[in-house]
Amino acid sequence: MYCLLKFASLFLAVSVCHGWLFGDFVGKQKDLDEISLWPQPQKFQSSAVAFKLSPVRFQIVHAKESSAGPNCSLLENAFRRYFEYMFGDMKKHEKSRKKVFDSDLVELKVWVTSADPECDGYPSLQTDESYELSVDGPSAVLKAANVWGALRGLETFSQLVYEDDYGVNNINKTVISDFPRFAHRGILLDSSRHFLPLKVILANLEAMAMNKFNVFHWHIVDDQSFPYMSRTFPELSQKGAFHPFTHVYTPSDVKMVIEFARMRGIRVIPEFDTPGHTQSWGNGITNLLTPCFSGSKPSGTFGPVNPILNSSYEFMAQFFKEISAVFPDAYIHLGGDEVDFNCWKSNPDVGKFMEQQGFGTDYSKLESFYIQRLLDIVAATNKGYMVWQEVFDNGVKLKDDTVVEVWIGNKMEEELQNVTGAGFTTILSAPWYLDYISYGQDWQKYYKVEPLNFPGTDAQKKLVIGGEACLWGEYVDATNLTPRLWPRASAVAERLWSDKSVTDISNAYNRLVQHRCRMVKRGIPAEPLFVGHCRHEYKGL
């Protein structure tokens, strides 16, 4: 019972930019509407000349000149995956059309140009994800420096393919030159407040690749539960998980996530947040947390990690040694947010320690003391670290390559200015807390954010290396995570990948509607943006 919204009037704009449309092909222009690239490439030219792709004839192959070959399993897997996306529901009528026509596109050649294609490597912050794609019958060419760029190009190629009214796959003559605006394009999932079964994580890695996200920020543990199964300290998950067998990530689970992500050009950055947000750690490790006092007696409850005991640091050194070995990425997220000082204040030993150290009553100095030592421990493992903004705000001495994550919405611009002014790289998540929901099309709000919209020099702006969409887990688990995240996170994906000038909401709407239908077709239950339908509705449930 709502006022009639004139939804139909929104479907007008054509989703082509810099297009050279040939006048003779007026009848074909409708097909151009069906192309909906997401996120929008940096440079894109398309004509109305269409080629047909036959599921029997078409193939994705390594170019002769390519440094990658059939032994590059990462690309071989990607070829199969994208073939499935394009032809998945067509294999039924395989026999229907064997003859090759002039108008056919018979192959996509993938040409990796660097001497080392990085088939067995991991993507990193420095990875070059650019690619060039040229579609002109009878073959298309995808050129990239390494496999990571090739993966991005394959995604784009698959998005160029559209079904005509006869159910035949078509692709238009196209030239694309593409690269990401920001190097760090992340999604945060929280597997502590609710346990997320492995297949939910994997499905979201799939969806991330469809949106060219490249960082999975795994907020793996927190107050509520500790599902990470540690080899060094198995009691952490035995006593800290919701359930020691069914609600844990075993080492092989973690390996699988990392490998699944790698195959899609996605980095996995685990977050082990301390000294706050650690209630669940205390279940398995005695004496790790600060005992809180009620008057002169321990109250039986515990606060943040106890920063005055050497044993705390010994534990951290061993623990992070393991973490640095398990997770191949060069960065670990160390948290450091929202430390509640009340428990420290109540504890007489902590008070004594404060006095000894000359901290007065400034508990943020104690926090800094802890963080400083932790950072030194982690630095010794040869890893870089990411931290939440409080760590920077409290004046902790940080390594030069530290990434500071800005998450507090209030005075966000000022914070970006300060962090980059101090010379640190930063990523932005404050405007993209997707666990907050509201009625209507809130994707527009995420889409309209301009990350560099703060006062600062060009050098400062360059220090903003990206952003993250965060889906905190208080109200989210396997039942509702995927539709809540997609396609809302897609708005963030385009903001972080495409050129700054790509801001037209109604154009974005048209493309995003089709992009979400594409995700649905590929098995991702992405929720609708508004009234309407997809040719292939969601079949799960």
Residues numbered 391 to 450 that lie near other proteins (CB under 8 A) are: 407-410, 429-431, 433, 435-440
Binding other proteins by CB under 8 A: which of 105, 416, 508, 526? 526
Decide if 283 contacts 226 (C-beta within 8 A): yes
What is d(CA 37, CA 156) in angstroms, rounded to the nearest whole number? 7
What is d(CA 368, CA 354) in angstroms, rounded to the nearest whole number? 12
Q: 357 in helix, strand or coil? A: helix
CB of residue 474 to other proteins, shortest distance in Å: 6
Decide if 420 contacts 464 (C-beta within 8 A): yes
Decide if 110 contacts 68 (C-beta within 8 A): yes
CB of residue 390 to other proteins, shortest distance in Å: 11
CB of residue 376 to other proteins, shortest distance in Å: 27
Binding mask 3-42 for other proteins (x = CB under 8 A): xxx-x-----------------------------------
CB of residue 359 to other proteins, shortest distance in Å: 23
The single residue of 338, 355, 413, 414 carrying the catalytic annotation is 338
What is d(CA 347, CA 51) in angstroms, rounded to the nearest whole number? 73
Amino acid, res. 27: G
Binding mask 192-211 for other proteins (x = CB under 8 A): -xxx-x-xx--x--------
Of 157 and 446, which CB lies nearer to other proteins in the complex structure? 446
What is d(CA 392, CA 479) in angstroms, rounded to the nearest whole number? 36
Question: 284: closest CA among 236, 241, 246, 249?
Answer: 236
Please name every residue paired with 69 in a beta bridge, in sequence order, or none if there are none: none
| Number of amino acids touching other proteins (CB under 8 A) | 67
Q: Identify whether 39 is preceded by a cis peptide bond (ω within 30 of 0).
A: yes
Q: State yes or no: residue 300 binds other proteins (CB under 8 A).
A: no
Residues numbered 77 to 106 that lie near other proteins (CB under 8 A) are: none
CB of residue 440 to other proteins, shortest distance in Å: 7
Q: Which long-range contacts (CB under 8 A, 24 or more apart) does 120-127 make?
A: 120/74, 122/262, 122/267, 122/328, 122/329, 123/148, 123/214, 123/262, 123/265, 123/266, 123/267, 124/267, 124/329, 124/330, 125/183, 125/184, 125/267, 125/330, 125/331, 125/465, 126/183, 127/183, 127/214, 127/265
Binding other proteins by CB under 8 A: which of 91, 243, 399, 500? 243
Q: Residue written as tokens 């010379």?
A: 423
Of 463 and 519, which CB lies nearer to other proteins in the complex structure? 519
Q: State yes or no: residue 483 binds other proteins (CB under 8 A).
A: yes
Q: Residue written as tokens 């979201």?
A: 204
Of 455 and 532, which CB lies nearer to other proteins in the complex structure? 532
405 has catalytic annotation: no
Q: State yes or no: residue 477 binds other proteins (CB under 8 A).
A: yes
CB of residue 467 to other proteins, shortest distance in Å: 13
Site for other proteins, rule CB under 8 A = 1-5, 7, 193-195, 197, 199-200, 203, 223-225, 242-243, 246-247, 279, 337-338, 340, 407-410, 429-431, 433, 435-440, 472-480, 482-484, 520, 523, 525-533, 535, 537-541
Residues noted as catalytic: 338
